[in-house]
Structure 1
Amino acid sequence: MMRTSKFNHDAQSVLFFRKWGRKSYSLFLALKKVVAISVLAVIYFLSTPVITLATTQDTSEVKMEYDLDEIEVSAQRTPALYSQVARIVSVIERKEIEAVPAQSVQDLLEYIAGVDVRQRGTEGVQADVSIRGGTFDQILILLNGINITDPQTGHHNLNLPVSLAQIERIEVLEGPAARVYGPNAFSGAINIITRKGNGNSATVNASGGNFGYFDGNASANVQTGRVSNVLAFNKKRSDGYTNNTDFDELNGFYGGYLNTTDGDLNVQLGISEKGFGANSFYTPKYPNQYEATKTLFTSAKWNSTGDLHLSPAVYYRRHQDRFELFRNNPASWYGGHNYHLTNTYGANLNSWFAWDAGKTAVGFEYRSEHILSNVLGKEMDHPKDVPGEDAQFTKSDSRNTLSGFLEHSLYISKWTFTAGIMGNYISGSDLGINFFPGVDLSYDILDGVKLYSSFNTSLRMPTFTDLYYQGPTNVGNPDLKPEKSATIEGGIKFSKPVVKGHVVVFYRKGKNIIDWVKESEDEIWMTQNLTRLTSFGAEAQVQLLLRKRLGEFVPNVDVSCLFNNVDKQEDDFISRYVLDNLKHKLVLSVNQRLIKNVSIDLKMVYQDREGSYTRFEDAAPAGEVSYDPFWLVDTKLSYKRRNLTLFSSVNNLFDTTYNDIENVVQPGRWVKAGLIYTFQINKK
């Protein structure tokens, strides 16, 4: 069992990943999903033989088991365990990451009912990720607790310097989180936590598949005294599943971890470089697009021990983007590619202490965002050369954000209460100082069953693309106001030995919501603030831990669903993003051990999207059409023995034709196979 956190608490008895911890189904214990069990039952009993054979459990598995409820998660400013948080938090752990049929963060997030992943490029190339009907610009992305959100556009938020092979855990906080993370955590936040390594070892991970697919990873963990070092590299490529969908990506990542009696120091450095065919990514009128990006990210964070806990951090992120509207054979009127370079740096301090009245946290953050571009920003007096390109930046802009945080948590008998507030000032705006409060409350009505409710507020500043983009089909608006929202939610969370899950209802009211809109299919997209937008929805999850009671070869089943209705005040425009939300999402997961060391994982996802888009034929508009609902089925077969894992996966098993974004058609059936091998290194 995992150690609890350093502060005292009464850990609630919940579920233990005892006999099924290495099964990918346990991933969905940490998620939140739903679907029709009858459909799964038919597939399961037709494809899997009935096995009544009993085996002795591998003792190495037992050593890896721990109680999910004792994991400390980043859902509030004061430290809190998963079991204590009065919010919906999805936690995807390493065991589940290895078991599911996904090889990118985007694919993995598809299996969370409350998350909407609209993929343009597959396998981590590019995706717009949102939570509970928000937009891709309304969530905050963190890497080991450090904000890596891109100020240019949310399209680049998941340009990560790490591959899925190096991720230890992903935490998804659903709902506004401004008082926890600051501006832009408008509809939620995703915290990606990398692996810290254990001792001295090396791991190789390689897989291949159709469409010329290759994914190779190599990593090493080296322990030098109190310092643990992790170095990892990733190479991923594909020829593309259709014309102009090829990609080539290279990542490198270093993590250093120093443990002392006074505290812990975490240092990270990551680089990423990729180029990809962007078939109809931003406009189907010119489908032969291409994009290349480079990302550099580094940070250092200290966590002290003692009565007063201090956690200062500094960080820097540099992102360079080249967008080509014509990959080749440009039109005569084409003036050249778009070049963008953003530099983001910041520092923050969070401190907390425990006393008789609970736990109190106080924090501050300074963040500075800068952009150089030949498209975005205000005209510069003196152009600057674009690094590595025969071009110049002619425009720029910058802004600084200063935020202060105060939060208090109180635990009394069966009650938990957390209240906090963020004060925020953004340079270059006429907002002045704004305050965004929030409160979370829960009550344990039974052992393992709690009622909870929360109220939170948030804001989002427009991206530089929202403000300034000028193109043949899109025009930005420098007069945009920040988005603001208030959200209330409540429900029940339950955790019993055989069943676990939640039922929650939420309501969000947004003001000045930013969207790209037009009045007819022939007009140019323009950004504007929608006067009002309300969202009402419900989310439910049921996890049936049948294996825990009925035996090793009985499957675990996870069913979760989301319903969300977005209502706008005005009806006289076509929305590109805000109103194209998922109205229904259903996720069904089953994990089954076939024989010892061999397991199969099955995922079924149903999506029904609101809104419509202008269908293009031969690069010309052919009418406005609604999004069609669709089912996707993914599966993965794994064999694991000691340090070796062999696997084969099939995504989109039934070769469904579908699209998440306008005219960008997604790949059909994709078959992959690979291996993972870990070498233990004994140092003398």
Structure 2
Amino acid sequence: MKRKFRESKQRSFLSFRKWGRKNFSLFSTLHRVVKVSVLSVAYFGSTPVLSVAMSQDTSSVKMEYDLEEIEVSASRAPSVYSEIARVLTVIDTKSIEQGPATSVQELLEQVAAIDVRQRGAEGVQADISIRGGTFDQTLILLNGINITDPQTGHHNLNLPVSLSQIERIEVLKGPAARVYGPNAFSGAINIVTKQNAGKMLEAQVNAGSYKYFDSNLSAGFATGQMNHLLAGNYKSSDGYIDNTDFNSTNVFYSGNLSSAIGKLSAQAGYTDKGFGANSFYTPVYPDQYESTQTTFSSVRLESLTKFNLTPALYFRRHSDKFMLFRNESPDWYENHNFHRTDVKGASLNSWYLWKAGKTSVGAEFRSEKILSNVLGEEMPSFVKVPGEDAFYTKSKNRQIMSLFAEHIFYLNNFTLSTGIMGNHISDEKSEWNFFPGIDISYRLSSSLKAVASWNTSLRMPTFTDLYYSGRTNIGNPLLKPEKSKMLEGGIKMNSKFVNGHLVVFHSRGTNIIDWVKTESDDLWKSMNHTSIVNTGFELDMEFSHWKLLGVNRQGSIRLGYVYNNQDKMSGELISYYVLDNLKHKLVASLNQPVSGNLSFNINFTYQNREGTYTSYNNGSSGSETSYNPFWLVDTKLLYQRNNFKFYVTANNLFNKRYFDLGNIAQPGRWLKTGISYNLNFN
């Protein structure tokens, strides 16, 4: 049934036809009541892309999403404003179910702007970067809560959830300090779990090559007015080459309670991984091993008052044991590396809608602490490592304070959003630093919108950047934060047959942190070594090919391409991370229902990377080797009948040998099959 709303002088409402109850969105801070009426699904690689199209006059506001229904109401207030005039990709439930990805890392691989450099397959470990940035420059959120690891970005995707619990993933490209605070340097990724699943029970079992096994169990239930989701996952494999075996266990809970004063949301999770780390951190010693444990919890209240308030509290603990030698070790090897990081945070966001638009203010306090026998400063007394014959001998803590202010203004087809973040880091002798930004959009026609934005950000050094020293690395406790500025502009299209965008971007990063060395050095050194200018463009188009041919059938073809051209002043230094960005990335996909119950998905990915790496053979170094470009093909066949789903996937279908990181060979052809069963008691 259609329901219509009109805009009053005090509050704007958006007219749609179908209600959703989905929160924690990057878009969810428009704080309008939204229902979606146009639900055509667009695919980006294997992933639908959300195209936001806004037009407004003095009497109405309209918004159209090429996505399943999504609620755009009370969440972290600053989040939404920079989204309106910027490129943002959303991977929705349908693409997660129909695509060939079996981990978050593989799913993100299908976004052209994202560089996924996997060390271990199936979610073991991967470095995520956006538009030529580094893996420490991407902010990771779980249901809108910052879970970025202060020890190292290698641990950012140690998540307590599996794909079966994820509703969608939202990817914002470019600096976003005034939205999320520090470390949203080259972009941000928000992973949104399923909300208000109702009464349900879902079981899933998968098996495949290399003795791969994956099992999931999820249950949704209600107690009074509160909805709950409880899920568990276990995954293991013997590995695709020597010392690449792994096993992981996840447990996740989320709960939502609606009341007269607002909505209370809580979540908690635990993940435990153990894996062979063949050449992960140095090819000199390939027999490495690592185990990690992550505990995470948060609670947030979204008020329903006229002056909207959203307070939140969160906590994350991450423990890491790294063994340079998994089995026998030489006499000079003294001990394994042990680390534990504790992150505590509190935020308060608020917004108010008035005649001149919408004004938002907020604040966040974050405390980061590490205990380690490698990273930090010497402690006067040592702390026992639980369950190990070892002690934490070093520690370091820092506090980060961020203040936000932002305003969005509407006039006919024109929208302007501007804001600023003030930031203070306890480690820095300087006082406050400020990071402004502005986004502009203009509706050219019913299907075209011009967008432009200028934004700034910073990235704090990790504890590894600051303090790690070993046989191949030397840290630098005097590192300064990285800073960036980005200018972006382009066109968004949203029509019956074609959806997508074309944007160009130009960014400048200063004080960029990297591990570097000269050809004559044996040790990597951490330093603010260069300034980097990145210029490029991003194209993403989805074609409803059957509609273009006048045929009433489902299906879509997706094409995405990103070009990054980096200019840097690094002298004769060899870079371990920064100077080996993707210059070209092309993704294409076809998603096609074959019959009423059967569907077929195929993804193509092309990557061409800058830079070189030092090749190693049996622990001995060789020459500098360029990265070879490569094509990958992944495919999935899915059959659905009643409550059952049967599927077969083939990753790296043509068994291509390739490297995301030097000396770490990626899996060849990997075949998997699975079955899932869902009971819905609603």
Q: Which position in structure 2 is the counterpart of 1:487? A: 486
Distance 1:646 1:25, change over 3 A: farther
Q: Which residue of 2 aligns with 1:610?
A: 610
Structure-1 residue corresponding to 2:145 = 146
Answer whether contact 1:514 1:527 (CA < 8 A) is retained. Answer: yes
Give distance in 1, aligned partners of 2:263 and 2:80: 18
Residue 571 of structure 1: aligned partner: 571
The correspondence of residues 389-468 of structure 1 with structure 2, limited to 5 A, is: 389-468=388-467
SS of structure 2 residue aligned to 1:673 = strand
Q: In the superposition, relative to structure 1, how do residues 547 and 224 fare at CA in structure 2: closer, same or farther (>3 Å)?
A: farther
Distance 1:6 1:182 in 2: 16
Deviations 1:293-324 (CA, angstroms, capped at 9, x unpaired):
00000000010112111110000000000000
2:26 corresponds to 1:27: no
Q: What is the alpha-carbon distance in structure 2 between the residues aligned to residue 140 and residue 663 of structure 1?
A: 27
Alignment coverage as a number of residue pairs: 646
> For 2:86, what is the secondary structure of its paired residue?
coil
Distance in 1, Cα, partners of 2:127 & 2:509? 20
Q: Which residue of 1 aligns with 2:600?
A: 600
**Cα distance, 1:73 vs structure 2:** 9.2
Structure 2 partner of 1:48:
none
- Offset at 1:564? 0.1
* 1-structure distance, mates of 2:211, 2:282: 26
Q: Identify which range, 89-98 or 242-251, moves more after superposition.
A: 89-98
Can you list the C-alpha shifts for 1:469-501, whole angstroms capped at 9, x where unaligned?
Answer: 011111111111110111111111110011011
Aligned-partner Cα distance in 2 for 1:7–1:583 = 35
Q: What is the identity, as a one-letter code, of the residue corresponding to 2:177?
A: A
**What residue identity is the alignment partner of 2:411?**
I
CA 609–2 in structure 1, closer or farther in 2 if over 3 Å, else same: farther
Instruction: Name which of structure 1's ranges 579-588 and 220-229 shifts more when overlaid on structure 2.
Output: 220-229
Please report how far the alpha carbon of residue 30 of structure 1 lies from its aligned counterpart in structure 2 after TM superposition: 3.9
Distance 1:276 1:436, change over 3 A: same
Supply the AA of the counterpart residue of 1:257.
N
How far apart are 1:28 and its partner, in Å?
A: 3.1
Structure 1 equivalent of residue 39 of structure 2 = 16
Deviations 1:398-419 (Å, cap 9, x if unpaired)?
Answer: 0000110001011111011100
2:19 counterpart residue number: 3
Measure, in 1, the Cα distance between the counterparts of 2:458 and 2:629. Answer: 31
Residue matched to 2:355 = 356
Question: What is the Cα deviation at residue 388 of structure 1?
Answer: 1.6
Deviation at 1:551, TM superposition (A): 3.6
- Aligned counterpart, 1:669: 669
Per mean C-alpha deviation after superposition, the further-off stretch among 236-245 and 305-314 is 305-314
CA distance in 1 between partners of 2:437 and 2:575 (Å): 30
Percent identical? 52
Structure 2 partner of 1:559 = 559
Preserved CA contact (<8 Å) 1:138 1:188 = yes
Return the letter of the residue paired with 1:678.
N
Residue of structure 2 equivalent to 1:635: 635
Aligned twin of 2:275: 276
What's the secondary structure of 1:678's corresponding residue? strand
Alignment of structure 1 residues 153-192 onto 2, 5 Å: 153-192=152-191
* 1:430 Cα deviation after fit: 1.4
Aligned partner letter, 1:375:
V
What TM-score does the superposition give when structure 1 sets the normalisation length? 0.91
Alpha-carbon separation, structure 1, partners of 2:421 and 2:533:
23
Shift in Å, 1:594: 1.0
| Contact kept in structure 1, 2:251 and 2:270, CA below 8 Å | yes
| Aligned residue type for 1:218 | L
C-alpha change, 1:262 and 1:614, in structure 2 (3 Å) is same
Structure 1 match to 2:108: 109
Amino acid at match of 1:573: L
CA offsets 1:502-545 (integer angstroms, 9 cap, x no match): 11111111110000001116521111112311111111011101
One-letter amino acid of the counterpart of residue 29, structure 1: V
Contact preservation (8 Å) 2:604, 2:632:
yes
Name the CA shift for 1:76/1:545 in 2 (closer, same or farther; >3 Å).
farther
Do residues 587 (structure 1) and 587 (structure 2) align? yes
CA distance in 1, matches of 2:121, 2:145: 25
Relative to 1, partners in 2 of residues 1:653 and 1:327: Cα closer, same or farther, differing over 3 Å? Answer: same
Matches within 5 A, 1:380-391: 380-391=379-390
Extract structure 1 runs of 4+ deviating beyond 6 A: 4-14, 23-26, 73-76
Residue 124 of structure 1 is matched in structure 2 by 123
Moved more, 91-100 or 66-75: 66-75
Shift of the alpha carbon at 1:169?
0.9
**Distance apart, 1:119 and its partner CA:** 0.2
Relative to structure 1, the CA distance from residue 160 to residue 635 in structure 2 (aligned partners, 3 Å threshold; closer, same or farther) is: same
Aligned residue number for residue 35 of structure 1:
none
- Cα distance in 2, alignment partners of residues 589 and 403 from structure 1: 41
Q: Go from structure 1 to structure 2 and tell me whether the alpha carbon gap of 1:422 and 1:346 turns closer, same or farther (over 3 Å shift).
A: same
Task: Give the conservation status (yes or no) of the 8 Å contact 2:270–2:295.
Answer: yes
Per the alignment, residue 304 of structure 2 pairs with: 305
Distance 2:70 2:341 in 1: 39
Matched letter for residue 306 of structure 1: T
Shift in CA distance, 9/392, structure 1 to aligned 2, threshold 3 Å: closer
Worse overlay, 550-559 or 165-174: 550-559
Secondary structure in 2 matching 1:269: strand
- Uncovered stretches (5+) of structure 2, i.e. residues with no partner: 1-16, 21-27, 53-64
Q: 1:8 to 1:400 in 2, by over 3 A?
A: closer
TM-score under structure 2 length normalisation? 0.91
How far did 1:224 drift? Answer: 1.6
